[in-house]
Amino acid sequence: MTILLIDSGIANIHSAAKALELWGAEVKITDRWQDFSQAQAVLLPGVGAFDPAMQALKQKDLLHPLQDWVAQGKPLLGICLGMQLLFDRSAEGTEPGLGIIPGEIHRLPSIPPMPLPHMGWNQLEIHTNHYLWQNLPPLPWVYFVHSYYAEPADRSTISATVNYGGFHPAVAVVKDNVMGLQFHPEKSAASGLQILKNFVQSLSISPKEVSYV
């Protein structure tokens, strides 16, 4: 199977590519919408700020191809800033988001002594029985670097949260064929590799067999 890894110029994509290849995926790094026809899934990574990321996608004519991909029911995984881009808008900027998952991005509250940005290891609080979480230990440790969090309009799309000084923001969302992870699975040791393995293996299963709950 082929996974397109979107190179918008706003992410370190090579560690994610290597992690996916570890589980047998053929990864094609691209910024061309013409390559979408070759893939079974798309991964949208991102670091940095919301507006420059959206502007980069717009300049590369990737906005409508990403939206069309999702409308066709095909798998899309957003990571870190890539998850935030899936939403309607962000308090970090003025550019509209992709609008694939209804909701907004807000700045994390200041909760002393918690660090801001939220940087380092924290434990996932998993709320749904989604295939991404198969074979993980309870409260798995994953790696974060972010100052903003997603607030979906439909809270049933929240698949995992984290305890940030008593505040529990969404750090994983699922809406049908679309998934978003606020943390970096490619930097999250064994748990992160298992999540990416689950994602790759799901691509060889028919849509009727895949649980999107």
Domains of the chain and CATH, by start = 2-202 (3.40.50.880)
What residues form DSSP beta bridges with 164? 167
CB distance 112 to 41 below 8 Å: no
Query: 117 is written with which tokens?
Result: 């940005």
| b/e map 178-213, b = 16+ CB within 10 Å | bbbbbbbbbbbeebbbbbbbbbbebbeeeeeeeebe
pLDDT given for residue 12 in this prediction? 67
Q: What pLDDT score was predicted for residue 8?
A: 78
Residues 6+ apart with CB under 8 A from 81: 10, 11, 45, 46, 47, 48, 49, 50, 53, 146
Question: Active-site positions?
Answer: 80, 184, 186
Q: How does pLDDT run along the chain (213 residues), one tens digit per residue? A: 899 999 977 666 888 999 999 999 999 999 999 999 999 999 999 888 999 999 999 999 999 999 999 999 999 999 999 999 999 999 999 999 999 999 999 999 999 999 999 999 999 999 999 999 999 999 999 999 999 999 999 999 999 999 999 999 999 999 999 999 999 999 999 999 999 999 999 997 544 444 444
The number of CA neighbours under 13 Å toward the Cβ of 85 is: 31
The structure tokens listed for 122 are 């924290």
Burial 160-171 (b: 16+ CB within 10 A, else e): bbbebeeeebbb
